Amino acid sequence: MSEDQFSLTGRQVEFRESCFEYARDVLLPIAEEGALGRVNRPLVAALGAKGLIGEMLHLESAEDRRPISALKLCLVREGLARACPEAETALALQGLGGYPLMRFGSTEVRETWGRRLLSGDAVAAFALTEPDAGSDVGALALAAEPDGEGFRLSGTKVFISNAPDADVYTLFARTSGARGGRGITAFALPGDSPGLSGQPLELISPHPIGRLDLAGVYLGPEHVLGEVDRGFSVAMETLGLFRPSVGAFAVGMAQCALDAAVEHVGKREVFGRPLAAMQAIAHRLADLATQLEGARLLVYHAAARADSEGANATIAAMAKLFATETAQEVVDAAVQFHGAAALVVGHPLEHLYRDVRSPRIYEGASEVQREIIARGLLGKP
């Protein structure tokens, strides 16, 4: 798929469908057996065994530093999300935390973690958010003070996916007093580092997420990702690469909800006729399907642009914004069509209803995406 080719090849569709089928037949049962709100290691291992982590990271070996394909990432994430959002999330988190390690890490970091990450033996995480620094990355305050050849880190991270159970974190800390994005450095932080502690947080969606506390954690120069004081660019490249694929995750969930809605209204009878016979219902489905297809096209357009020209912040923001907002609307409507049955804990739509909410917040809330789009339109830096 190129910038001006708005259709997937047969091979790409087949690959996406194979991800869906693997998620439905293999990954979903594993996800259902896992503890809610904690890392599901068998699920990550199953993703690695299928080669999907390697597909996502586009790495053939721990020594390979090639950028991943944004389009392939979207294919994988949409396919998995249609059947098992937990599997999609586990894969995405492995990529978000693992990509900076493999792209910017020292030889030691890549040799230590590369093969384990690809196989699903080690779990990675992306530790950026702090109590007073969410979408505003430049407000980071966790301090990394020079200590010999390395750094001593102290501070707190919150809402960190896979915390506190991850084996390794891509963590961002302030290494100088420069304001904003300047003076931030990215580090590879082993999960068993002395002085590192944490606890899980409970969300409305059973997402593995937690808090990290660093009390004088020492990291040597070999743990620096990229260059000292240049970690902001590491964060922005990673988020920019993954942002369109958040839209693919949303599209996959929305497609699942729309499929369920179409099936339900076709067989559910009210006042002696199927719900689908009611024009209000049928036309609402038509609108939702149209919005969803538009979201899918925008997501794949953004991914194709990223692969051919490099990430375009404005288009990526449009893709994430439109896809995640559309998914929220589609899932909400599907719940409405099903009525009270969809509100029962354990119903697939009840699960989707909780899962679909967070993508409108993480990796840049919808309001932040609108700001990015507006700045791009107005030519502001």
Most confident of 30-39, 105-114, 211-220, 351-360: 211-220
Domain finish residue from 123, 143, 172: 123
Question: Which amino acid appears at position 192 of this protein?
Answer: D
136 and 204 share one domain: yes
In a domain, 3, yes or no: no
Q: Which domain holds residue 26?
A: 10-123
Kindly state whether residue 2 falls inside one of the protein's structural domains: no
Comparing 247 with 55, the larger pLDDT belongs to: 247
Torsion of CA 264, 256, 10, 18, to 10 degrees: -110
Query: What is the number of domains present in the chain?
Result: 3
Question: Which residue in 202, 363, 367, 371 is the catalytic one?
Answer: 363
pLDDT score of 5 more than 90: no
pLDDT at residue 65 tops 60: no
pLDDT digits 0-9 by tens, 257-287: 999 999 998 888 777 788 887 888 999 999 9
Q: How high is the pLDDT of residue 133?
A: 78
Least confident of 47-51, 107-111, 236-240: 236-240
Same domain for 374 and 239: yes
**Beta carbons within 8 Å of 183's beta carbon, 6+ residues apart:** 174, 175, 176, 177, 229
Q: Tell whether 243 and 182 lie within a shared domain.
A: no
pLDDT at 9: 87
Q: What is the pLDDT of residues 123-162, one digit of tens each?
A: 999 999 999 877 677 788 899 999 999 999 999 999 999 9
Note the pLDDT tens digit of each residue in 290-311: 999 999 999 999 998 888 887 7
Residue 250 within any structural domain of the chain: yes
Residue 41 domain-assigned (yes or no): yes
CATH number at residue 185: 2.40.110.10
Higher pLDDT: 61 or 333? It is: 333
On the question of pLDDT at 3 being above 80, the answer is no
Residue 59 and residue 106 in one domain: yes
Which residues have CB under 8 Å from 76's CB, separation 6+? 16, 19, 52, 55, 56, 91
Residue pair 91/56 in contact by the 8 Å Cβ criterion? yes
96 and 116 assigned to the same domain: yes
If one compares 110 and 137, the residue with the highest pLDDT of the two is: 110
Looking at residue 267, which CATH number applies to its domain?
Answer: 1.20.140.10
Write the pLDDT tens digit of every residue in 185-199: 999 999 999 999 999
Mean pLDDT confidence for 203-208: 82
Report CA-CA distances (Å) from 306 to 23, 72, 110, 294, 359.
26, 11, 25, 18, 20
Q: Tell me which residue of 140, 222, 216, 136 sits closest to 177, measured CA to CA.
A: 140
Active site residue 363: yes
Q: Which pLDDT does position 59 carry in this prediction?
A: 52
- Going from the C-alpha of 210 to that of each of 38, 101, 193, 197, 206, the distances in angstroms are 9, 21, 17, 11, 12
What percentage of the chain carries pLDDT values higher than 90? 67
Q: What is the pLDDT of residue 267?
A: 85
CATH code: domain of residue 87: 1.10.540.10
User: Average pLDDT over the chain, rounded to whole?
Assistant: 90
In a domain, 4, yes or no: no
Are residue 262 and residue 372 in the same domain, yes or no? yes
Residue 15: inside a domain: yes
Is residue 144 located within the same domain as residue 281?
A: no
Whole-number pLDDT of residue 60: 47
**217-252 pLDDT per residue, tens:** 999 999 999 999 999 999 988 888 888 889 999 999
- Higher pLDDT, residue 1 or 324: 324
Is it the case that residue 348 has pLDDT exceeding 80? yes
Residues 316 and 212 in one domain: no
Same domain as 113, residue 163: no
Pair 47, 78 in one domain: yes
Q: Are residues 206 and 298 in the same domain?
A: no
Q: Are residues 98 and 138 in the same domain?
A: no
Last residue of a domain, which of 81, 103, 123? 123
Last residue of a domain, one of 191, 213, 229: 229
Q: Say what the pLDDT of residue 307 is.
A: 84
Percent of the chain with pLDDT over 70: 95
Q: Is 5 a domain residue?
A: no
Instruction: Confirm whether 156 is domain-assigned.
Output: yes
**Confidence band of 66 (pLDDT split at 50, 70, 90):** low
Q: What is the DSSP string of 210-256?
A: EEEEEEEEEE-GGGEESSTTBHHHHHHHHHHHHHHHHHHHHHHHHHH
Beta bridge partners of 161: 209
